[in-house]
Chains A and B, each alone.
Chain A
Amino acid sequence: AQTVTQSQPEMSVQEAETVTLSCTYDTSESDYYLFWYKQPPSRQMILVIRQEAYKQQNATENRFSVNFQKAAKSFSLKISDSQLGDAAMYFCAYRSEGAGNTDKLIFGTGTRLQVFP
Protein backbone atom coordinates (compact mmCIF):
# COMPACT_ATOMS: atom_id res chain seq x y z
CA ALA A 1 0.00 0.00 0.00
CA GLN A 2 1.12 3.52 -0.70
CA THR A 3 1.95 5.88 2.15
CA VAL A 4 2.73 9.59 2.34
CA THR A 5 4.80 11.08 5.14
CA GLN A 6 5.15 14.71 6.14
CA SER A 7 7.67 14.86 8.95
CA GLN A 8 7.30 18.56 9.76
CA PRO A 9 4.12 19.20 11.79
CA GLU A 10 4.85 22.93 11.87
CA MET A 11 7.05 25.36 9.99
CA SER A 12 7.46 29.11 10.12
CA VAL A 13 8.85 31.71 7.75
CA GLN A 14 9.18 35.45 7.62
CA GLU A 15 7.36 37.41 5.00
CA ALA A 16 9.31 37.62 1.70
CA GLU A 17 11.55 34.72 2.67
CA THR A 18 11.64 31.20 1.19
CA VAL A 19 10.48 28.04 2.94
CA THR A 20 10.56 24.38 1.93
CA LEU A 21 8.04 21.80 3.12
CA SER A 22 9.07 18.15 2.98
CA CYS A 23 7.15 15.12 1.78
CA THR A 24 8.23 11.54 1.23
CA TYR A 25 6.16 8.68 -0.09
CA ASP A 26 6.37 4.97 -0.51
CA THR A 27 5.11 3.11 -3.54
CA SER A 28 6.03 0.24 -5.82
CA GLU A 29 4.22 1.81 -8.76
CA SER A 30 5.93 3.61 -11.61
CA ASP A 31 3.00 5.72 -12.78
CA TYR A 32 1.49 8.14 -10.33
CA TYR A 33 0.84 11.78 -9.57
CA LEU A 34 1.77 13.93 -6.63
CA PHE A 35 -0.04 16.99 -5.34
CA TRP A 36 0.28 19.73 -2.78
CA TYR A 37 -2.96 21.06 -1.33
CA LYS A 38 -3.35 24.15 0.82
CA GLN A 39 -5.97 24.41 3.57
CA PRO A 40 -6.26 27.97 4.92
CA PRO A 41 -8.18 28.81 8.11
CA SER A 42 -11.42 28.71 6.09
CA ARG A 43 -10.67 24.95 5.74
CA GLN A 44 -11.34 25.01 1.98
CA MET A 45 -8.88 22.66 0.28
CA ILE A 46 -7.10 24.30 -2.64
CA LEU A 47 -4.80 22.59 -5.12
CA VAL A 48 -1.42 24.34 -5.19
CA ILE A 49 0.63 22.27 -7.60
CA ARG A 50 0.77 18.86 -9.26
CA GLN A 51 3.61 16.68 -10.58
CA GLU A 52 3.48 13.76 -12.98
CA ALA A 53 5.92 11.01 -12.00
CA TYR A 54 6.98 10.42 -15.60
CA LYS A 55 8.17 14.02 -15.95
CA GLN A 56 11.68 14.82 -14.82
CA GLN A 57 11.07 18.54 -14.91
CA ASN A 58 9.93 19.99 -11.62
CA ALA A 59 6.54 21.68 -11.66
CA THR A 60 6.26 25.39 -10.93
CA GLU A 61 3.26 27.64 -10.32
CA ASN A 62 4.25 31.25 -9.78
CA ARG A 63 5.90 31.39 -6.33
CA PHE A 64 5.39 27.67 -5.73
CA SER A 65 7.76 25.03 -7.04
CA VAL A 66 8.55 21.43 -6.22
CA ASN A 67 11.72 19.39 -5.96
CA PHE A 68 10.70 15.95 -7.20
CA GLN A 69 13.27 13.23 -6.60
CA LYS A 70 11.70 10.03 -7.93
CA ALA A 71 14.46 7.66 -6.89
CA ALA A 72 14.46 9.05 -3.37
CA LYS A 73 10.63 9.20 -3.35
CA SER A 74 10.76 12.78 -2.21
CA PHE A 75 8.44 15.62 -3.19
CA SER A 76 9.16 18.90 -1.41
CA LEU A 77 7.33 22.19 -1.88
CA LYS A 78 9.23 25.47 -2.04
CA ILE A 79 7.39 28.71 -1.43
CA SER A 80 9.32 31.79 -2.53
CA ASP A 81 8.66 35.36 -1.44
CA SER A 82 6.31 34.13 1.28
CA GLN A 83 3.18 36.16 1.90
CA LEU A 84 0.88 36.39 4.90
CA GLY A 85 -1.81 34.68 2.84
CA ASP A 86 0.38 31.60 2.51
CA ALA A 87 -0.26 30.75 6.15
CA ALA A 88 -2.19 27.47 6.08
CA MET A 89 -2.01 23.72 6.48
CA TYR A 90 -0.27 22.11 3.53
CA PHE A 91 -0.98 18.53 2.56
CA CYS A 92 1.03 16.33 0.26
CA ALA A 93 -1.03 13.75 -1.64
CA TYR A 94 -0.43 10.75 -3.91
CA ARG A 95 -2.61 9.30 -6.64
CA SER A 96 -2.04 6.15 -8.66
CA GLU A 97 -2.38 6.11 -12.43
CA GLY A 98 -2.94 2.95 -14.35
CA ALA A 99 -5.24 0.01 -14.87
CA GLY A 100 -7.75 -0.28 -12.07
CA ASN A 101 -6.97 3.18 -10.79
CA THR A 102 -9.74 4.43 -8.54
CA ASP A 103 -8.48 8.02 -8.41
CA LYS A 104 -8.14 7.85 -4.65
CA LEU A 105 -5.89 10.39 -3.03
CA ILE A 106 -3.61 9.35 -0.21
CA PHE A 107 -2.76 12.26 2.06
CA GLY A 108 0.06 13.00 4.43
CA THR A 109 -0.68 14.34 7.90
CA GLY A 110 0.00 17.94 6.93
CA THR A 111 2.40 20.76 7.80
CA ARG A 112 1.12 23.91 9.43
CA LEU A 113 2.92 26.94 7.97
CA GLN A 114 3.04 30.20 9.89
CA VAL A 115 4.13 33.39 8.17
CA PHE A 116 5.46 36.23 10.31
CA PRO A 117 5.52 39.85 9.15
Chain B
Amino acid sequence: DGGITQSPKYLFRKEGQNVTLSCEQNLNHDAMYWYRQDPGQGLRLIYYSQIVNDFQKGDIAEGYSVSREKKESFPLTVTSAQKNPTAFYLCASSPRTSGPYNEQFFGPGTRLTVL
Protein backbone atom coordinates (compact mmCIF):
# COMPACT_ATOMS: atom_id res chain seq x y z
CA ASP B 1 0.00 0.00 0.00
CA GLY B 2 1.25 3.47 -0.84
CA GLY B 3 1.22 6.04 1.88
CA ILE B 4 2.99 7.99 4.56
CA THR B 5 4.13 6.49 7.81
CA GLN B 6 5.15 8.34 10.94
CA SER B 7 6.76 6.81 13.95
CA PRO B 8 6.40 6.58 16.80
CA LYS B 9 2.72 7.33 17.37
CA TYR B 10 3.42 8.59 20.90
CA LEU B 11 6.72 9.99 22.12
CA PHE B 12 7.78 11.18 25.53
CA ARG B 13 10.82 13.33 26.08
CA LYS B 14 12.51 14.77 29.09
CA GLU B 15 13.31 18.45 29.10
CA GLY B 16 16.71 19.18 27.59
CA GLN B 17 16.72 16.16 25.28
CA ASN B 18 16.66 16.16 21.52
CA VAL B 19 14.23 13.79 19.84
CA THR B 20 13.74 12.75 16.21
CA LEU B 21 10.38 12.06 14.59
CA SER B 22 10.36 9.78 11.59
CA CYS B 23 8.43 10.36 8.35
CA GLU B 24 8.62 7.97 5.40
CA GLN B 25 6.61 7.96 2.16
CA ASN B 26 6.46 5.48 -0.71
CA LEU B 27 4.33 7.68 -2.99
CA ASN B 28 7.35 8.87 -5.00
CA HIS B 29 6.48 12.43 -4.04
CA ASP B 30 9.07 15.16 -4.45
CA ALA B 31 7.83 17.50 -1.73
CA MET B 32 7.52 16.81 1.98
CA TYR B 33 6.30 18.94 4.87
CA TRP B 34 6.21 19.06 8.65
CA TYR B 35 3.34 20.70 10.52
CA ARG B 36 2.70 21.29 14.16
CA GLN B 37 -0.85 21.19 15.50
CA ASP B 38 -1.86 22.82 18.77
CA PRO B 39 -5.40 23.15 20.14
CA GLY B 40 -7.14 26.17 18.67
CA GLN B 41 -4.28 27.05 16.32
CA GLY B 42 -4.76 24.80 13.34
CA LEU B 43 -1.70 23.49 11.51
CA ARG B 44 1.46 25.55 11.30
CA LEU B 45 4.30 24.81 8.91
CA ILE B 46 7.66 23.99 10.49
CA TYR B 47 9.85 22.98 7.53
CA TYR B 48 9.35 21.84 3.98
CA SER B 49 11.44 20.24 1.26
CA GLN B 50 10.72 20.36 -2.44
CA ILE B 51 13.62 18.18 -3.52
CA VAL B 52 16.26 15.90 -2.05
CA ASN B 53 19.09 17.67 -0.22
CA ASP B 54 17.15 20.92 -0.04
CA PHE B 55 14.73 22.29 2.54
CA GLN B 56 13.33 25.62 3.71
CA LYS B 57 12.09 27.03 6.97
CA GLY B 58 8.39 27.40 7.46
CA ASP B 59 6.63 29.75 9.83
CA ILE B 60 7.78 28.23 13.13
CA ALA B 61 11.19 26.65 12.45
CA GLU B 62 12.96 27.82 15.60
CA GLY B 63 14.03 24.89 17.76
CA TYR B 64 13.60 22.34 14.97
CA SER B 65 15.89 20.83 12.35
CA VAL B 66 15.37 18.52 9.38
CA SER B 67 17.29 16.60 6.74
CA ARG B 68 16.33 15.27 3.33
CA GLU B 69 18.99 12.80 2.29
CA LYS B 70 16.54 10.48 0.56
CA LYS B 71 13.40 11.18 -1.41
CA GLU B 72 11.40 8.86 0.82
CA SER B 73 12.45 10.24 4.18
CA PHE B 74 12.13 13.60 5.96
CA PRO B 75 12.96 13.25 9.67
CA LEU B 76 12.27 16.10 12.08
CA THR B 77 14.46 16.72 15.13
CA VAL B 78 12.95 18.63 18.01
CA THR B 79 15.87 20.17 19.84
CA SER B 80 16.19 21.33 23.42
CA ALA B 81 15.96 24.89 22.07
CA GLN B 82 12.28 24.40 21.29
CA LYS B 83 10.61 26.02 24.29
CA ASN B 84 7.22 24.37 24.10
CA PRO B 85 7.54 21.15 22.10
CA THR B 86 4.47 19.32 23.43
CA ALA B 87 2.18 19.08 20.39
CA PHE B 88 0.86 16.85 17.65
CA TYR B 89 3.18 16.66 14.63
CA LEU B 90 1.97 15.87 11.14
CA CYS B 91 4.07 15.00 8.12
CA ALA B 92 2.76 15.42 4.58
CA SER B 93 3.95 14.91 1.02
CA SER B 94 2.85 16.07 -2.41
CA PRO B 95 3.82 15.27 -6.01
CA ARG B 96 4.63 18.87 -6.91
CA THR B 97 2.82 18.77 -10.22
CA SER B 98 1.06 21.96 -11.20
CA GLY B 99 -2.65 22.45 -10.79
CA PRO B 100 -5.22 21.64 -8.12
CA TYR B 101 -4.43 17.95 -7.90
CA ASN B 102 -1.10 18.64 -6.27
CA GLU B 103 -2.73 17.81 -2.98
CA GLN B 104 -0.87 17.08 0.19
CA PHE B 105 -1.25 13.63 1.68
CA PHE B 106 -0.85 13.37 5.42
CA GLY B 107 0.63 10.79 7.72
CA PRO B 108 -1.12 9.62 10.91
CA GLY B 109 0.90 11.95 13.14
CA THR B 110 3.10 11.74 16.24
CA ARG B 111 2.04 13.02 19.62
CA LEU B 112 5.08 14.42 21.46
CA THR B 113 4.87 15.07 25.17
CA VAL B 114 7.65 16.68 27.18
CA LEU B 115 7.77 15.47 30.76
Q: Which A residues fall within an 8 A CB radius of B?
A: 6, 9, 33, 35, 42-47, 50-52, 91, 95, 97, 102-105, 107-110
In addition to A44-B109, A107-B42, A107-B44, 4 A-B residue pairs with Cβ atoms within 8 Å of each other are: A42-B108, A50-B100, A102-B50, A104-B48
B40, B42, B90, B101 interface centre (most CB from chain A within 10 Å): B42
Cβ-neighbour of A97 out of B50, B56, B90, B98 (below 8 A):
B98
Interface size class of B (residues with CB under 8 A): 20 to 34
Secondary structure of the A contact surface, majority rule: loop
Cβ-neighbour of A103 out of B31, B40, B43, B106 (below 8 A):
B31
How far is A109 from B40 in the complex, measured between Cα atoms in Å? Answer: 6
Minimum CB–CB distance from A68 to chain B (whole Å) comes to: 13
How far is A80 from B101 in the complex, measured between Cα atoms in Å? Answer: 24
Is there contact, CB below 8 Å, between A108 and B108?
Answer: no
> With A102-B48, A104-B58 in contact, is A43–B108 under 8 Å at CB?
yes
Cβ-neighbour of A35 out of B41, B48, B103 (below 8 A):
B103
Cβ-neighbour of A107 out of B43, B99, B103 (below 8 A):
B43
Q: Which residue of A lies closest to B30 (CB)?
A: A103
Q: Which residues of A contact B56 (CB under 8 A)?
A: 102
